Structures are given as C-alpha cells and as structure tokens.
A and B are shown apart, each in its own frame.
Chain A
C-alpha cells in the first residue's frame, strides 16, 4: 500500500480538458465533496477540490486540490476522511494567511507532502507542523463491520489475555462490568452482579465486540450438546491454532495436554452427546484438560458449534391459543433466560405435552 500525495488538479485537467473548471464548479455545489476517480492506468485518484472565490485572485477564484494517488486495488475508504480534513485545513490556512496563494509559503507544501507520504505509509498516522501556531494531526481509521446484536443470554469472552486490557481507555460502564466478563457469565448475570442496567451492559459489550476485544459464545452447562464443524481440522493443520489451543485448555499446573487427547475430545462431541457424557467417556483424556475452557476455545475458533433446542407447538386444533414462545424461533437458552425457569423444569414441562416437538440445530 503506498500513497503518494500530489497536487494533481493538473492531471485531472488533462483528463477533462476544457471542462476542468466546470468539474470543480459542479462539485462545488456540494459541501466539501471528496471524490475517487479510477484512471485507465491502474491507479486511483482521491481528492477533495476546494474553490475560494475572492477578487484578489486572478480569475477571481482559487482552485486547489490535494489528493492521493494509489493503486487501483487499494482499499481507500480510510483515506477519504483524511483528504477532506486536509482540504479543510488548507482552506483555513489560506483564508487566515494566504498560505497557498503566497509563493513563499507555498514551497512548504512540498516537505509537507513528503512527510504525509512517509508517515501515513509507515504508521498510519501523521503530525504535520505547518508553522508556529498550526499543526495538523491525521490518522487513518479503519471502518469496521457493524457488530451483531447482543442478547441477554450471550456470553462475552476476551479474545486476548485480559491482562493486556488497559481499563483507563474505556468508559465507566465498561470499566464497571469488566471484572464480571469471565467467558462464563452471560449478559443478564453480568447486569445483575455488576448492578448495571441490562441495556447499558448490552451496549458496552457490543462496543467491545466492535473493536474485536471480545467475542460471544453461548452459556455453558454440562447438559449442553455440541458438534464439530469442518474447521475442527484446523487444529491438525494449523500449528499456531494448535499451540494456542493446547496452552489454553491445559489445566493449571499440569503438564501440557497432548494434541491427540484434545482432538479426540473435540471429535467426541456430537449430536446426542452432552458434555457430561463426554466427561464420563473420555475421563482419561480429561486428566490434563479443563473441559470448560476446551468448549470455550472450540466455540471461539469455530471448531465446534452449539446445538440449541427449539420447542415447537404443533397446532392440533383451531381453538387452542397460538403459542408465544414455542414457535421454533426461541431456544431453550432464550426461554429460560427470559422466564427464569431452569432447563430441567422446562424439559419436564414440555416432555408431558404431546403437542410439542423439539428441534435441535
């Protein structure tokens, strides 16, 4: 990725020949438009033209445009706000002290541009001292995908070691709930124990999700059922995941678990098998392995997935009330969380109802 800033309105001019000014004037009807133009030479031009009208300028207006030239394949979304910011700064400088129209100060643009190029390419951030009173700070900010909605029965777990987390960088709510994020407490529980309103907890966790600090897994219970995904083979193929896994799941103070044991355990998870079943069948393999962390890691890396139970009331006659929760849209996790009853209770209730079928997926 390399950006090379260039005052290129000359280049644009040659593409549009006599219409160069018209292009600028047309773009001037917008508020600081930025544009990205793909040229035929396999490059992209990103710029933000500025037009300042004043009698003192020849032709009564000053047109300028500081932009970047990049390879056509480069993802340039992060550059657009920078280009706009730069044009704003330059406009202010021009209006305050004629920075650009003045022949002398104009020379400063060259070292400014090379600093821009170097620093943005190196660190993604740039500090440009213009003169004694003006400094420009720029930073490339990557846009991320919108995070999914966080439910009350979701469990946040740190993707990196929690110790690396610098608390002071975050807002007060996040700081307050931090001690309760242990990869086992779900949102509702965190809210209750940290004494923070449920929605605030949800938003705080969503924020952490956005920055990739945490990821979500499901509630752990020994009655849970999981199964392997095709990605489970990554444990064998990918050395780094192997290393990470074995250190993550080994019980404290024990010799490192063997790959074979861990892989057997993951493969032992299948539909119809609860974690409890796994523990009794593979007790030898579990000597050095913490089963809760095993499940946690497996979910975080998508080596395994959870099978949830969904009750569906199959309507037999027209007179009975339509089901509210037993529609196949709500899992046991959700129903238990919302109603406060336990899995066992729910099981007992539903087992006796001949109109209810249960789907696992």
Chain B
C-alpha cells in the first residue's frame, strides 16, 4: 500500500436515516472491522514524533469498529436545519463526512486526511444524495430500499434471539442485505472503488449515473499524489501551443465513455495526436478552442491524458528525475513486449544527456526506424519517464564597477517596467480554459508591440517605439545595451527591445516563437548577438512539469 494511499481511502460507508420513528442505521460496509488497520494511522501513533496520549497501546482498534450501530445512528442523525449542507464530525481519529438530505444521508468515514480529500469525499456524498433524492421523488426508491434494509435487520435479530449460532459469531445483518438491496450493493461498490482505483461509477436504481473520481488516487507519481488545486492551477495555464497526449489507446478510451457522452469529446479523442497542438486540434476537430481546452482539462483531471509540448524534431528530452529505471521494473517488461528487440534501460541511457529527436535521425536508417523511435518516445512520455527541456532567457546587465551606489539588480524587471502590463498572454486569458474570450486561431500578438512596429529601418516612429521600450530600463542598463556592437544595427536593436519583456526567465523559446511568430534560428541569433547582457539556461517548463513530478 502506498504511504498516502491509506489516507485517501475511506474506512467505511454508512447509510443512516432519521425520521419520526427515530434514527436507524440502514447499512454499513465493510460489515466488521477487519484487522488491516490503515497503516498510516498506527504508524502515526508509533512514530516517535507523534504525541502519545496515555493508554493508547498497539492493540488499540482503529477505525469505526468502536462505534456500534446504535451509536452511529445517534451520532450521525441530524436535524432538518443541517440538511443540504456539508456534515463533518471528527471523533478521536475518525472523521465522518457526509451530506444530509431530507430524509436520509450517506456519510463516509475517513481517517485524518487532507482537506482536499475530505472535500472530495463530501462531493461524492452529495452526488449520491442528489441522485437518491431524485429517485425518491420519482418513485420512492429510497423509502423502498430503506424498508428492505430494516426488514432484513429485524429478521436477523429475531433469528439470533431465538437460536444460538454454533460458532458464537453473530451474523452481520448487513451481509444479508447485500444480495437483496441494490442500494447496498451500490454503496459497497463505491467503497471498493474508492479504496482501489479511485474511480466510482454507479447507476442508482439502474437509472441515474453517478460518476466520481478521486484525483488523489489517479494522479500519483512516485508514491505521492498531485493535489487537485495544483492540478487546476496548471490546467488554467495551458496555452494553445501545448498538446494533449492520451494515456491510453484511442480504442480503449472510446470504449470507456458513457453512451450519452458528448460527440465533441469523441471527435477530440479521434483527432488528437502527440504532434498536434491544441490550436491545430481545434481546427482539425472543427471545435472552438475554448471547447478543446475544456475537454482537455476534463481528460487530464480524470487521468486519461497529460499536457505536453507537441513532438517535433527540435524538442530536447532528458530522463525525468522520478523515472523508474530499475532493470526489474514492470515498465521494463512492458517495454520489451511492446518493442521486441529493444530494452528499456538502454533506451533510457540514451536520454541521460539532453538530446533532441533530430539527433536520433540517421539518414542511413529506414524511415520505419524513425517512426518506431517516435513511438518509443511517446511511450516513455506517457509513463512520465522523460521530461522536456526548454530554453529560458534572463536579462542581467554587468554591474558598473566604478559607481558603487548604482544597484541595477535592485528591482526585478517587472517592477521597473511600470504600468504597462507585461505579463504573459495569460493576462489576455488565452490559455485559460475558463475564459470566454473569443480566441482567434491565428498567432496571438501583444497589444502594442510587434504588429505596430513597421519594417524598414529608421523611421522616427520605430525609433520612438524602441526608445519607449528601452525606457523601462535603468540608465546604466540602457548604456550597456546600446554599447553592444549588435545594437548599432537598428533592426536588431528593435527586435531586442520588442522582446525585452520576455527576458525575465519565465518564457521559453517556443513560447516567444509562438507569440511573436518568429523562427527558432532568428531568436537564437539574437540571443547570441546580445549574449553579454543575457543569461540563458535550460530546464523543464514548470507549468506542465506537474505532470512529471510530484509536488514538493
């Protein structure tokens, strides 16, 4: 079991009703507390760093076994004024989370866990409650099931009162309820799914679908989970130049979709490819870019896809620090099966130094070999074995030696730039999947930079533009830049000035290329010409690196 796995699994599922005839525990699963206590709980108590209250021995039973049915019914019964809102009660090490609705509420117990896990559990509780409410109104489903459950319970208790069991163990009434009661089976299934895959799919009364996923279980890398808030943050920062990489085959994904899913989703899955960016995907699938963003975010949230930069020969990849490179890992086996004649460690060794896909190209090799290489890279990306490196640039002017008072590194560039909004296009909400801006399918450009600078030398308008852009720098910085030999060429200087706001180390080469409609070679040449004031480094894109590595 994963270290955090136990803290994301519920201890049990309970259904309690409270009405004019008192409180009743309708159903609970698992029936009895099995001895496999969540290791995280006992570990907490045994850890030398935890507070040990007197009397807590290792034999202490954790979880809900201490709570008898009657107690549970009493504790969890609520008045009507608490209905429709989140219910949360923690007793010692056990936490109850539920959503009371008029007549019934299904709470789920949970041990000490992350607030985000708790709110996810509450979400599931609420969804089940809503479905039950609907079915109750429609055909009194819940009342019927409740009656069934109570009837079975009474039957069992009268039986145990009149007969003694040979082994002395009382039969759990809930066990008998299972085969007779669909709702009980649904609750059991919810519990089982939550404990294993984290994906729940129920059909209440064989009619209403309740689906739910616990991102903490789905998004795991190296034993840690990605917190949903971080996931959402990343999803908001996606740009049109990113691509969507499916984690399962097209066929497998399509077969998992419910019958009434949106046709847009199907189109997207069919048109999606690792070499296509989201903008192209929108064109090919004939969908609005906003829709693409929303569906992509949905797929990512459900662990069916990740965001990458589209595959191309200039992409530079390196081994992920979290890659499992063990000889005996299941990944190695799968790789050998998928690509006979190749072994994973040898392949991974090739990515020990950052390498671009172009470097693999061998003109003497058959094109089929190249295609296989792409497949292998995609395979490795899907299993988070590789990270992509991008080039980032930062403006840092050599400090002046003879004027000790002058501190150019005083303020970060952004502050000195003043009122002009120089944040990335996300300020124009291009990348936000929740924005409702009308997104064009052409390359976006900044407000008053590129488009307005006319080509053709030294026109006074251009000169003034360049001056304005450079005005954000300190006097010393401006002097140093203007003294660079390349600055004597007005075209180069203009390009430099116009791209100035990208040189804060937060925008990689490909982003500048996309936003400014420039070629890689153009940019690289510019960086080279102005290298005396620029510092260049390569690392992964923090926006999408969340999909490769767990949170610190």
Q: Is the CB of A358 within 8 A of B352?
A: yes
Instruction: Write out the residue numbers on chain B whose beta carbons fall within 8 Å of the beta carbon of A350.
Output: none
Asked if B326 is at the interface (CB within 8 A of a chain A CB), the reply is yes
Interface residues of B in 109-128 (CB under 8 A from A): 112
> How far in angstroms is the closest Cβ of chain B from A66?
17
Residues of A within 8 A of B323 (CB): 361
Q: Which of A33, A230, A242 contacts B91 (CB 8 A)?
A: A33
Interface residues of B in 20-64 (CB under 8 A from A): 43, 47, 49-51, 53, 55
- Is the beta-carbon distance between A236 and B328 smaller than 8 angstroms? no
Question: Known contacts A30-B66, A359-B325, A361-B325: does B74 contact A228 (CB below 8 Å)?
Answer: no
> Do B345 and A357 touch (CB < 8 A)?
yes
Decide if B398 touches A260 in the complex (CB within 8 Å).
yes
Among A27, A302, A310, max chain B CB count under 10 A is at A310
Segment with Cβ contacts to B, from A54-62, A140-148, A159-167, A289-297: A140-148
List the B residue with the shortest CB-CB distance to A211: B49
Of A19, A34, A210, A239, the contact of B49 (CB 8 Å cutoff): A210
Closest to B392 in A: A233
Known contacts A312-B325, A359-B352, A236 near B504 by CB under 8 Å:
yes
Given that A270-B538, A271-B318 are known contacts, is A236 also in contact with B82, CB under 8 Å in the complex? no
B91, A35: Cβ atoms under 8 Å? yes
- From B55, B329, B505, name the one whose CB has the most chain A CB atoms within 10 angstroms: B505
Inter-chain CA distance A36–B90, complex, in Å, is 5
Which of B525-548 touch A at CB < 8 Å?
A: 535-542, 545
Q: How far is the CA of A359 from the CA of B354 in the complex (A)?
A: 12
Residue of A nearest to B549 (CB): A229
> Are A267 and B91 in contact, CB atoms less than 8 angstroms apart?
no
For residue A40, CB closer than 8 A to chain B, the reply is yes
Q: Knowing A29-B71, A260-B399, A313-B327 are in contact, say whether A361-B89 is a contact too (CB < 8 A).
A: no
Q: Mark B90-111, 1 if CB is under 8 A from A, else 0.
A: 1110010000000000000000
Q: How far is the CB of A226 from chain B (nearest CB, A)?
A: 12
Measured between beta carbons, the chain A residues less than 8 angstroms from B68 are 29
Nearest A residue to B329 via CB reads A328
* Total count of chain A residues near the partner, CB < 8 A: 64
Q: Is B77 an interface residue (CB 8 A)?
A: yes
Give A139 Cβ to nearest chain B Cβ, in Å.
11
Cβ-neighbour of B541 out of A19, A26, A230 (below 8 A): A230
Chain A residues contacting B396 (CB-CB under 8 Å) are 236, 259-260, 263-264
Q: Within residues 303 to 332 of chain A, which ones have a CB less than 8 A from any CB in chain B?
A: 305, 310, 312-315, 323, 327-329
Q: Does B88 contact A (CB under 8 A)?
A: yes
A236 touches B49 (CB 8 A): no
B349 in the interface (beta carbon within 8 A): yes
Among A143, A258, A259, A357, the residue within 8 A (CB) of B349 is: A357
Please name all residues of chain A whose beta carbon is closer than 8 Å to the beta carbon of B308 when the two chains form the complex: none
Q: Which residue of A is nearest B536, CB measured?
A: A267
CB pair B345 A359 closer than 8 Å: yes
Sorted from nearest, which 3 A-B pairs have the closest CB atoms?
A267-B537, A230-B542, A360-B352
- A residues whose Cβ falls under 8 Å from a Cβ of B: 15-17, 19, 22-23, 26-27, 29-38, 40, 77, 81, 84, 141, 143-144, 146-147, 210, 227-230, 232-233, 236-237, 239, 242, 258-260, 263-264, 266-267, 270-272, 302, 305, 310, 312-315, 323, 327-329, 357-361
What would be 20 A-B contacts, judged by CB atoms less than 8 Å apart?
A: A26-B70, A27-B91, A30-B66, A34-B92, A81-B51, A146-B43, A210-B49, A228-B538, A229-B539, A230-B545, A236-B504, A236-B505, A239-B412, A258-B399, A267-B536, A271-B318, A314-B327, A314-B345, A327-B327, A358-B349
